[in-house]
Amino acid sequence: MILSSQSQVKLLRLLESVKETLDRKNKERRYTRDTEDTKAPLIFTEKFPSLKEGTELIIKEALKRAKGNQSIAAQLLEVSPSAVNKRLKREKEKR
């Protein structure tokens, strides 16, 4: 199929518009509390984690989803960025 140059330009603009819309939707979805792999309940090994261990695991997971950004991790956890920062500092001092 051969398109006129005008049709090619229209098609290109349409494709760019679709790409921008998809990029925007992906960006909006990127930092949500729920992801596809969290629809299942938490699964624990035989040893149930302590509250402290569970907290550390949740913070690590939030940081992973936020790609290391502490402010975004704090939003996911619904706490202040300083609370996340304090926990990370405390954990670092123990090591």
Query: What pLDDT does 37 receive?
Result: 54
Query: What pLDDT does 28 receive?
Result: 57
Which is more confidently placed, 15 or 83? 83
Task: Quick: pLDDT tens for 62-74.
Answer: 999 899 999 999 9
SS3 per residue for 13-63: HHHHHHHHHHHHHHHHHHCCCCCHHHCCCCCCCCCCCCHHHHHHHHHHHHH
Q: How does the average pLDDT of the chain come out, rounded?
A: 79
Query: What pLDDT does 36 receive?
Result: 55
Query: What pLDDT does 69 receive?
Result: 93
| CATH code that applies to domain 48-95 | 1.10.10
User: d(Cα 25, Cα 11) in Å, to the nearest integer?
Assistant: 21
What's the predicted TM-score (pTM) here? 0.55
Percent of the chain clearing pLDDT 90 (strictly above): 24
Has residue 40 got a pLDDT over 60? no
Average pLDDT over residues 32-36: 56
